[in-house]
Amino acid sequence: MIRVNIVTTIYPPPHFDGHDGDYLPDGDADVEARDMTFSELALLLIEENVTMPSSWPPPADPGPSDWLMCETYQDYRTGEWTEKSVHFARDNAPSKRKYWRWAWRAAGIIK
């Protein structure tokens, strides 16, 4: 099993006061630690479209400090914005790092 931290941050609708509105106010983050098989992790990345790496260009050998996120999307009923990211948990054994790299490859992020 591979432990990942799934961070979901919900931002309230921005209030425009005449200043530059190209930022999101502070959001409420929820962190869920989850143990997953390699297949479950790869499926999560693909199904949830969590395919944007934390750095560009994507590292050839992603490590524990590299994470993935999806595009921020808006709930048009409430105006809230949601952002989701998946992080390799620091308490994984070093031997689990290869599965993190393989999941990136399975999701088409790296070759």
Whether 90 is covered by a domain: the verdict is yes
Confidence (pTM)? 0.83
Q: Tens-digit pLDDT profile for the chain (111 aa)? A: 999 999 999 998 876 555 555 555 678 889 999 999 999 999 999 988 888 999 888 888 898 999 999 988 899 999 899 999 999 999 999 999 999 999 999 999 998
Domain, as residue range, for 96: 2-15+24-106
DSSP string, 17-80: -SS---SPPP-EEEEEEEEE-HHHHHHHHHHTT--EESSSSPPSS--TT-EEEPPPEE-TTT--
Whether 66 is covered by a domain: the verdict is yes
Whether 33 is covered by a domain: the verdict is yes
The total of structural domains in the chain comes to: 1
